[in-house]
Amino acid sequence: MDIGVLMGIAFGLHVRNLELYVYAFEKFRFPTSLCNSESLETLKLSDAILVDVPSPICLKSLRTLHLHGVVYKDDESVSNLLSGCVSLENLVVHRFQQSDVNTFTIAVPSLQRLTLTSENDDEDSIYVINAPSLKYLEFQGVLDDNTFVIKNSPELVEASLRDIFDVFGHPNISVFENILRSLTSVKRLSLEILAPSKIKFPTGSIFFQLVYLELDTYEPMWWNVLMLMLDSSPNLQVLKLIRKSWRREDPEAYMKWNKPKYVPKCLLLHLETLVWKNYQGEIEDEKEVAKYILTNASRLKKATFSNAYIRPETSRQRLKELRSVVMASNSCKLVFKGHR
């Protein structure tokens, strides 16, 4: 009751920024009477809050909305809340409890940035995104098959996909591939690959607009995805590779890399920057991939390799090995950063 009184005073004073974090066993029902504010620009709700919106609302000035771990009464509460935010540009949703909503619909014509995290999904929960003005999308978490639908996002320019698992905690390859099919128009793409040897997409699909690609992986068998993406991104200019695991790996665990028959167009004509973080230089195939890029990237301006877990003398040795490669670009600056 005290929270409600304080919020009533704030709204009476035309509050523009409201952050409400509730830590209690009993859910606090967010007052729908306050969901028709003309002044509110930023609203952040977290934890033990019940979003119960039985009818459409109007938050015409709201630009930023964060929903962190809140509970929704039903599907309609989600739709009524978001549809009333006619000026919403930035939406962050972090879900812990999925059983409260069957279809989480994000239909916001003005939305430009969407960050969606889904955790502990023990039941089917479908996400439907209809945001024609969306420019940035980030998703990570738990999804079952056919539960993520992007209906209309023609202006999407940047996307990030990370940690996509199924309900059993296994990497969900089919969902990852389905989402990726909706992102062929992006200019910047960041992917965290959890099971690279199983991914067959994007064969047959072309990322014509892609100029920046970041690949993160914990797994050793990632050459498959790298070469597929290079072959499917003819205008790529920046390539960033991040090997998350710093421990020494068993060479036998790595999938054998087969040199492609044709050099990807992006290497021949467009790639200018290569960043390879946690480069080990011990696995033969890893060295072969590095050499392949350096010997074919004719427009490369700078190649930076790094590993913070190796000694200075090893760093110098790695740099010497890389410099021994006959590079296609005469103007490329080659750098290796090790432990300081």
Q: What is the pLDDT of residue 99?
A: 67
Query: What are the C-alpha distances in Å from 105 to residues 2, 64, 238, 270, 311?
Result: 32, 17, 34, 39, 51
Q: What is the pLDDT of residue 278?
A: 87
Q: What is the pLDDT of residue 261?
A: 86
What DSSP assignment string belongs to 82-146? Answer: HHT-TT--EEEEEES--TT-SEEEEE-TT--EEEEEE----S--EEEEE-TT--EEEEEEE--TT
What DSSP assignment string belongs to 267-303? Answer: HHHT--EEEEET----SHHHHHHHHHHHHH-TT--EE
**Separation between Cα atoms, residue 29 and residue 269, nearest integer Å:** 58
Q: Report which secondary-structure segment, H or E, holds 316.
A: helix 312-323
What three-state secondary structure class fits 32? helix
Helix axes 312-323 and 284-296, enclosed angle (nearest 10): 50
Q: What is the pLDDT of residue 24?
A: 84
**Separation between Cα atoms, residue 216 and residue 220, nearest integer Å:** 11
Phi, psi of 132 (to 5 degrees): -65, -20
**Separation between Cα atoms, residue 286 and residue 293, nearest integer Å:** 11
Q: What is the pLDDT of residue 167?
A: 47
Q: What is the pLDDT of residue 218?
A: 64
Query: What are the C-alpha distances in Å from 278 to residues 181, 240, 248, 257, 270?
Result: 29, 11, 11, 19, 24
**Separation between Cα atoms, residue 220 and residue 254, nearest integer Å:** 5
Name the pTM for this structure: 0.86
Q: What is the pLDDT of residue 138?
A: 94
Beta bridge partners of residue 274, listed in sequence order: 239, 303
Closest CA to 85 of 51, 55, 105, 56: 56
Q: What is the mean pLDDT of each run of 10 residues along the chain (340 residues)?
A: 83 92 88 85 94 92 96 93 96 83 92 89 75 93 72 90 59 67 90 63 74 82 80 95 64 64 94 93 84 95 89 85 90 84
**Separation between Cα atoms, residue 335 and residue 40, nearest integer Å:** 49
